Amino acid sequence: MKNVYFDSAATTQIREEVVDKMTSVLKENYGNPSSTHSFGRSSKSLIEQARKTVAKILNVRASEIVFTSGGTEADNLALNSAVRDLGVERIITSRIEHHAVLYTVNQLQDCFDVEVEYVDVDPMGNIDLEDLEARLKNSDKKTLVSLMHVNNEIGNKIDLKKTAELVKSYNALFHSDTVQSIGHFNLDLSEIPVDFTAVSAHKFHGPKGVGFAFVRSHSGLKPLIFGGEQERGHRAGTEGVHNIVGLEESLKLAYENLDEEKEYISSLKKHFIDSLKKEVPGVKFNGACEDFENSTYTLINVRLPLSEEKALMLLFQLDLKGIACSKGSACQSGSDQGSHVLNAFLPDEEKKKPSLRFSFSRYNTKEEIDYVVKTLKEFIEN
């Protein structure tokens, strides 16, 4: 039995160079960054160097980078403070956002009586920008728009610059979950008028438990976690220096190797799509997977021609064959509910068919794809 990992949208294998860098920091830079002695100053300097590295990659100010425990915390920081501190009375989002956004928005609606609107999604899972503009025109209430750059389940991309410019033309705030895009796409945030973004290191071969929020200067955002003056007062708590250095190293390596790895991973995606079409009659692709311009090169979402009864055994059988992939988002694992993303745009009949997300990284091969396609074909035919 082979063991093949096609779940990199859930988390990625950490790069060896990143492990080495983190191990060195754990051994040698153990001082508390808030301490004023040399041990503390040594740790603090590593954090500030990492902040500068991240800022340079995104072409923003170092002061606009706030290290967090990951994308979920970064999303919560922006959304909660926008309502609590910045006077936002209305949030426009979509029903295909990550639950880190959707559940936070629901909580804000319950606790602060925030008005919530959901922008339309077309039959391919794309955000309807005409509907977004109509909603922005429709109210004078202070508004925040929250739309993710790359959807974590179906891979659809929005035009981030165009969307941000539209939102800002109506004097609204714009938040984007960029967890699936930073580390995989070049984003110059000096050219994209987004106010807040969220990032997680473990999506680009870095450690789990660390990420950052981009917070536009003079936004007025206040902390979500209180207790100290760390992160320039934006986020209390002793920083995990080794994790922050691991984030820095993994992001740096992601962009140093971006063009080469993007070309390679794109070839894997194309091979997967072509092989499935050839070997599995009736296979369909959810969202804009087949459109390489309007979807990410890092994943596909596949709808298979299986009965509901047989579909119940699919993931179990793949796991027995050593194949790791996702039914919907990994953040929903163990849930009996279908994917909220697919439910937002698929016809009822198509919702009954099993959908799988396969997501790729630099560590995958075409031979692994051939093994997966062969396994799927045998399961469907037997």
| Tally of CA atoms within 13 A in the half-sphere of 57 that contains its CB | 24
Please indicate whether residue 331 is annotated as part of the active site: yes
Those residues with Cβ within 8 angstroms of residue 337's Cβ, 6 or more apart along the chain or in another chain: none
CA gyration radius, the chain? 21
Tokens of 21: 């860098």
Q: How far apart are CA 7 and CA 317, in angstroms?
A: 16
What's the CA angle centered on 148, arms 258 and 192, to 5 degrees? 65
Q: Give me the catalytic one of 111, 289, 325, 331.
A: 331
H or E stretch covering 44: helix 38-58
Altogether, the residues listed in the chain come to a count of 382
Tokens of 253: 């390596």
Those residues with Cβ within 8 angstroms of residue 62's Cβ, 6 or more apart along the chain or in another chain: 48, 51, 52, 54, 55
DSSP structure string for 271-310 = HHHHHHHHHSTT-EE-TTTT-TTTB-TTEEEEE----HHH
Helix axis angle for 99-112 and 71-84, nearest 10°, is: 20
H or E stretch covering 165: helix 160-169
Active site residues: 331
